[in-house]
Amino acid sequence: MTILVCLDRDGTINEDKNDFLGSTLDWKSKVKFLPGVVKGIRLLNQISDLEIFIITNQAVVALTGTEFDMLTEQRYKEVNEYMIEQLAKKEAGIKGFFGCPYVDLKYAEKSKQRGRTINPKYVVDNHPDLKPNPGMVEKAAKYLGKNLQECEV
């Protein structure tokens, strides 16, 4: 049986200083792995039939305004790919990533109260990929040619 490990990104793998990673031209210099992450992933890599994925809500893609212009779906994918490459250089393997740029109505309302605007195309209540829904975990299993019942999650 395949063991499927899905890790959140911001604040779990990397430092999250609420600086909207990817929003500036120098974003690569801001990628900092949390203490123990590299070692932990290396240890997990030693377990046979175990695959690791990053699954991440990226609500910032839904935000509009000049400070968020660079935070596109393409950019969050570039950030994830870069992080996986950097971890691989440290012999800490991650199989892939899945991200969700959608937000629910509650998030959209909170953002509005904070003076931020949301691109309405990203407001989808109960989107299957929006955590805690299992959509991204299911996609990781499918990527491995499995369904969740065939994985230990």
Alpha-carbon distance of 82 to 84, in angstroms, equals 5
- 84: tokens are 């996986």
The catalytic residues are 8, 10
> How many CB atoms are located within 10 Å of the residue 15 CB?
15
Residue length, the chain? 153
Count CB atoms within 10 A of the CB of residue 71. 24
Q: How far does CA 141 lie from the centroid of its chain?
A: 16
| Sole residue written with tokens 């065939």 | 150
